[in-house]
């Protein structure tokens, strides 16, 4: 069995982020590998691309907080803020991602703190 996921972010045809995941063969063994997903059943990635990305690094870290059951972190690379989560419980990963999404949306955009509307379907 194979699992392939690739995507990229470009600004004016300049590649600023690329993410590629290719799992081949025994997916359970690959996902269990300590150098990979370490047994996690869910993963999430949040990207914010803007000239003020660095400004939001510490506030994003505060929102993320910590949770013993999840591996998570946030970094800033130039104009790109990247947050990631890994966890055994998909509901916990989704909840913490949604928390950052809603609060970040409110903080940066001055909009109501809410989840993407597609999550309501």
Cα 88 from Cα 108, distance rounded (Å): 30
Q: Is the pLDDT score of 18 beyond 90?
A: yes
Residue with tokens 């800033």: 76
Nearest C-alpha neighbor of 53 from the set 75, 73, 37, 33: 75
Nearest to 107 by CA among 44, 43, 45, 64: 64
At 30-79, the pLDDT tens digits run: 888 888 888 899 999 999 999 999 999 999 999 999 889 999 999 999 99
Structure tokens, 70: 């999840």
Among the listed residues 107, 91, 96, the one whose alpha carbon sits nearest the alpha carbon of residue 45: 96
pLDDT of residue 91: 93
pTM (two decimals): 0.88
pLDDT interval class at 23 (50, 70, 90): confident
């Amino acid at each position: 069995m194979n699992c392939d996921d690739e995507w990229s972010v470009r600004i004016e045809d300049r590649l600023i982020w690329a993410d590629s995941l290719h799992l081949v063969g025994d997916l359970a063994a690959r996902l269990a590998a300590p150098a990979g997903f370490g047994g996690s059943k869910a993963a999430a990635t949040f990207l914010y691309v803007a000239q003020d990305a660095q400004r939001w690094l510490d506030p994003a870290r505060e929102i993320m907080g910590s949770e013993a059951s999840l591996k998570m972190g946030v970094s800033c690379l130039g104009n790109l803020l990247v947050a990631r989560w890994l966890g055994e419980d998909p509901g916990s990963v989704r909840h913490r991602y949604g928390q950052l999404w809603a609060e970040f949306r409110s903080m940066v955009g001055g909009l109501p703190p809410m989840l993407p509307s597609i999550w309501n379907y």
